[in-house]
Amino acid sequence: MRLLQILKEDIKTQQHLLAIYKNALSTLPKGRLRYRMMNGRVRYFRYNPETKKVTYLKDADKELVQKLKYRRVTEETIKTIENNLNIEEKLLEAYQPYDPVSCQMRLGKVYQDAPELFYEENGKHKKKKI
């Protein structure tokens, strides 16, 4: 079934991206940005969750500000991918094909010799014996 193939490929892609983002995260400075408008200009502050301290970031700290922004976006991306993977893996486990043969196979022995069924093939109905 095409859906299951697409789902498996997407899981593989997201797992690969997750590894890349986690590696990138390990290289970025820790902390979160806060900001305030002061005299009509944005002023950034860095909150360090380990020390619980807030420090002012000067104009010379533009690179640090960008890295902290990238860190936060990366953290959100990781969270989203992990959530997606959880949902997709559950779907992959629970999804059942709905074609007549698959449905028939899920039923008991009494239905295994069911009479002719109609199968849709390329948009046309075609009789086929099971």
> If you write DSSP's letter for every residue of 31-53 in order, what string do you get?
-EEEEEEETTEEEEEEEETTTTE
pLDDT confidence band for 125 (50 / 70 / 90): very low
- Residue 126 confidence (pLDDT): 52
- Residue 118 confidence (pLDDT): 52
The pLDDT tens digits of the residues spanning 10-48 come to 999 999 999 999 999 999 999 999 999 999 999 999 999
- Residue 71 confidence (pLDDT): 97
The pLDDT tens digits of the residues spanning 45-86 come to 999 988 999 999 999 999 999 999 999 999 999 999 999 999
pLDDT confidence band for 116 (50 / 70 / 90): low
Q: Read off the amino acid at residue 104.
A: Q
Predicted structure pTM score: 0.76
In sequence order, what are the residues at sequence separation of 6 or more whose Cβ sits closer than 8 angstroms to the Cβ of residue 85? 11, 14, 15, 18
- Residue 115 confidence (pLDDT): 64
Say how far apart CA 38 and CA 68 lie, in whole Å: 20
Environment class of 108 (CB within 10 Å of its CB; exposed 0-12, middle 13-18, buried 19+) = exposed
